[in-house]
């Protein structure tokens, strides 16, 4: 029995899969925040290059991956598919568990799968510099790596509290040649405003997004090289780029003769989950029996407790209104260690498919996720990112369920990244300092009040 299923380099998928072509109900359009009218491509042009905007709205089922992108992806792709035999033996449940190892990329997560094409499309559009934000640093480091590959400048606004408490990903960014500043910074109007209110502001993802977008749209006026903004999750083109995960997994599973009964991924903005799952959602739309589970934290239960409605993508209300599951743009989740899952919204494509009953959302509590991560490390060996541990907790739940039901099942899970830069979180867990965060309904209701009077998606 093979424990690792590899693809040769010439088996790397050469097209991305665009689920927009197959959805039973199309995604509702993003709306202009001022006019409430559907957004046109030109509205986004100051922020993103037009070639990525075209992908954002494309209805083509298959989109060719450009040769220079394939060339860079080959640094770590195709990624191995593993059979989690040691975990299976430990669990003693009637399941085969396969996992796609996205921790093998240079930045240690799935995020370079979209950072590489995004930087490439910016480069061919004549952009010289990219501005972005990062929380714990996963996206900032992936983008810095990609910019170094294509010779673009990278400017990363990193939430100040993480900048100070988590130096390692900042140092990865510096090693790849990027400039990383703590946000709020003195370099933008938005940052200076925040610092005037609170010189010791710990920062937030919302503020950092404002700074990065402002940096991009004002770069020419300030005499900086031509700059655009880049986002690491949520948007359609990001999910599109990530489908290389599921397309590879399909080919690898075909070599084993197995087809998954259950596909599982953790979901913050939805990109790694969608990347692994969408090719299987396609099969499900075509009539195949497959259960598809997106796992989120109970402390930030966007899909399981948030309504499907129009909301801003960011805290400071600069982005278009997106049709999605949301807890409200002002929702501040508890400071759990899975920083990548602390987002108030969910990708519109994933949200629509949840509404259509094709994706099943599930929330798991923090302590259960770390217990699953430790079990994983002591069986499979790899130490997972705290985000990834959410998916692993659901794998263990499903394995136990299969045993109760007396059914044999094949499970595919996306192992979104390693946790070697997140060991302080494991330390806190071992010392008993972590807690599960109950989220009272009043808190959700309160945050959702901000959406009163917002347009509603058509059903
Ligand atoms: C960023 C991140 C996530 C969450 O982002 P998605 O867009 O939902 O995939 C999950 N796992 C890891 C390892 C991450 O770095």
- Please check whether the two domains, 3-12+70-108+245-451 and 22-37+47-62+109-229, share a CATH topology: yes
| Mean pLDDT over each residue of the chain, to the nearest integer | 96
- pLDDT of 425-447, one tens digit each? 999 999 999 999 889 999 999 99
- pLDDT of 113-170, one tens digit each? 999 999 999 999 999 999 999 999 999 999 999 999 999 999 999 999 999 988 999 9
**How high is the pLDDT of residue 2?**
85
**Ligand 1 atom closest to 275 (CA):** 9
Dihedral over Cα of 317, 451, 57, 353: its sign: positive
**How high is the pLDDT of residue 6?**
97
C-beta neighbour count of 220 within 10 angstroms: 12
- Mean pLDDT value across residues 69-92: 98
What's the predicted TM-score (pTM) here? 0.98
- Mean pLDDT value across residues 78-86: 98
* Residue 142 neighbours by CB under 8 Å, 6+ apart: 105, 107, 109, 111, 112, 114, 115, 232
More confident residue, 325 or 437: 325
User: What distance in angstroms lies between residue 266's CA and the mean position of ligand 1's atoms?
Assistant: 7
- pLDDT of 11-63, one tens digit each? 999 999 999 999 999 999 999 988 999 999 999 999 999 999 999 999 999 99
Q: Which of 271, 293, 296 to mutate to test the pocket of ligand 1 (most atoms within 8 A of CB)?
A: 271
Q: Residue of the nearest CA to atom 7 in ligand 1?
A: 271
Look at residue 252 and give its three-state secondary structure: helix
**How high is the pLDDT of residue 206?**
84
- pLDDT of 307-320, one tens digit each? 999 999 988 888 89
User: What distance in angstroms lies between residue 111's CA and the mean position of ligand 1's atoms?
Assistant: 7
Return phi, psi of residue 143, to 5°: -70, -35
**How high is the pLDDT of residue 404?**
98
User: What distance in angstroms lies between residue 423's CA and the mean position of ligand 1's atoms?
Assistant: 17
- pLDDT of 33-43, one tens digit each? 889 999 999 99
User: What distance in angstroms lies between residue 325's CA and the mean position of ligand 1's atoms?
Assistant: 17
**Ligand 1 atom closest to 138 (CA):** 15
**How high is the pLDDT of residue 16?**
99
Distance CA 363, CA 393 (A): 10
User: What distance in angstroms lies between residue 109's CA and the mean position of ligand 1's atoms?
Assistant: 8
Chosen CATH of 3-12+70-108+245-451 out of 3.20.20.140, 1.10.10.60, 3.40.50.1100, 3.30.559.10: 3.40.50.1100
- The yes/no answer on whether domain 22-37+47-62+109-229 falls in CATH 3.40.50.1100 is yes
Residue boundaries of the structural domains of the chain: 3-12+70-108+245-451, 22-37+47-62+109-229
Look at residue 201 and give its three-state secondary structure: coil
- pLDDT of 252-311, one tens digit each? 999 999 999 999 999 999 999 999 999 999 999 999 999 999 999 999 999 999 999 999
Is the pLDDT score of 1 beyond 80? no
**Ligand 1 atom closest to 271 (CA):** 7
Look at residue 330 and give its three-state secondary structure: coil
**How high is the pLDDT of residue 57?**
96
**How high is the pLDDT of residue 318?**
84
Sheet holding 409-415, edge to edge: 4-5, 81-83, 95-101, 409-415, 262-266, 291-297, 360-364
Distance CA 145, CA 177 (A): 8
Q: Residue of the nearest CA to atom 1 in ligand 1?
A: 340
**How high is the pLDDT of residue 58?**
97
Look at residue 8 and give its three-state secondary structure: coil
Is the pLDDT score of 110 beyond 80? yes
**How high is the pLDDT of residue 339?**
84
Q: Which of 417, 418, 419, 421 to mutate to test the pocket of ligand 1 (most atoms within 8 A of CB)?
A: 417
DSSP H/E element including 58:
none
User: What distance in angstroms lies between residue 388's CA and the mean position of ligand 1's atoms?
Assistant: 8
**How high is the pLDDT of residue 315?**
81
Pocket of ligand 1 (CB under 6 A): 109, 111, 138, 233, 266-273, 340-341, 385, 387-388, 416-417
Q: Which of 107, 113, 233 to mutate to test the pocket of ligand 1 (most atoms within 8 A of CB)?
A: 233
């Amino acid at each position: 029995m093979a424990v690792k299923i590899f693809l040769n380099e010439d088996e790397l998928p050469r097209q991305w899969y665009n689920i927009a072509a197959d959805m039973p109900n199309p995604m509702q359009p993003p709306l202009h925040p001022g006019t409430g009218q559907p957004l046109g491509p030109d509205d986004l042009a100051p922020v993103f290059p037009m070639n990525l905007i075209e992908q954002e709205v494309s209805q083509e089922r298959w989109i060719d991956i450009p040769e220079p992108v394939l060339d860079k992806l080959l640094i770590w792709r195709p990624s191995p598919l593993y059979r989690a035999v040691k975990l299976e033996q430990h669990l003693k449940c009637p399941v085969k568990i396969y996992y796609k190892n996205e921790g093998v990329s240079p930045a240690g997560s799935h995020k370079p799968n979209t950072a590489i094409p995004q930087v490439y499309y910016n480069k061919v559009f004549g952009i010289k510099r990219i501005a972005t934000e990062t929380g714990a640093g996963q996206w900032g480091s992936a983008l810095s790596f990609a910019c170094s590959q294509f010779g673009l400048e990278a400017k990363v606004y990193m939430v100040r509290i993480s900048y100070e408490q988590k130096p390692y990903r900042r140092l990865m960014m510096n090693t790849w040649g990027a400039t990383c500043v703590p946000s709020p910074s003195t370099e933008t109007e938005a940052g200076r405003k925040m610092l005037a209110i609170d010189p010791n502001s710990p920062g937030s993802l919302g503020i950092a997004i404002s700074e990065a977008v402002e940096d991009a749209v004002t770069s020419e006026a300030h005499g900086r090289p031509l700059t655009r903004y880049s986002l690491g999750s949520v948007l359609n083109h990001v999910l599109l780029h990530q489908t290389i995960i599921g397309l590879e997994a399909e080919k690898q599973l075909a070599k084993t003769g197995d087809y998954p009964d259950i596909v599982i991924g953790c979901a913050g903005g939805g990109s790694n989950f969608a990347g692994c799952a969408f090719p299987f959602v396609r099969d499900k739309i075509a009539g195949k029996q497959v259960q598809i589970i997106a796992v989120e934290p109970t402390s930030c239960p966007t899909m399981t407790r948030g309504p499907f409605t129009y909301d801003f993508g960011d805290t400071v209300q600069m982005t278009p209104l997106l049709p999605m599951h949301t807890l409200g743009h002002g929702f501040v989740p508890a400071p759990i260690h899975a920083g990548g899952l602390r987002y108030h919204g969910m990708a519109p494509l994933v949200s629509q498919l949840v509404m259509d009953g094709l994706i099943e959302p599930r929330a798991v509590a923090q302590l259960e996720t770390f217990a699953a991560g430790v079990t994983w490390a002591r069986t499979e060996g790899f130490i997972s990112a705290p985000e990834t541990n959410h998916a692993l907790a659901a794998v263990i739940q499903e394995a136990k369920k299969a045993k109760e039901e007396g059914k044999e099942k094949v499970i595919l899970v996306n192992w979104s990244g390693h946790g070697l830069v997140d060991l302080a979180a494991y330390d806190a867990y071992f010392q008993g300092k972590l807690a599960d965060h109950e989220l009272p309904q009043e808190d959700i209701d309160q945050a959702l009040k901000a959406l009163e009077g917002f347009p509603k998606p058509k059903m």
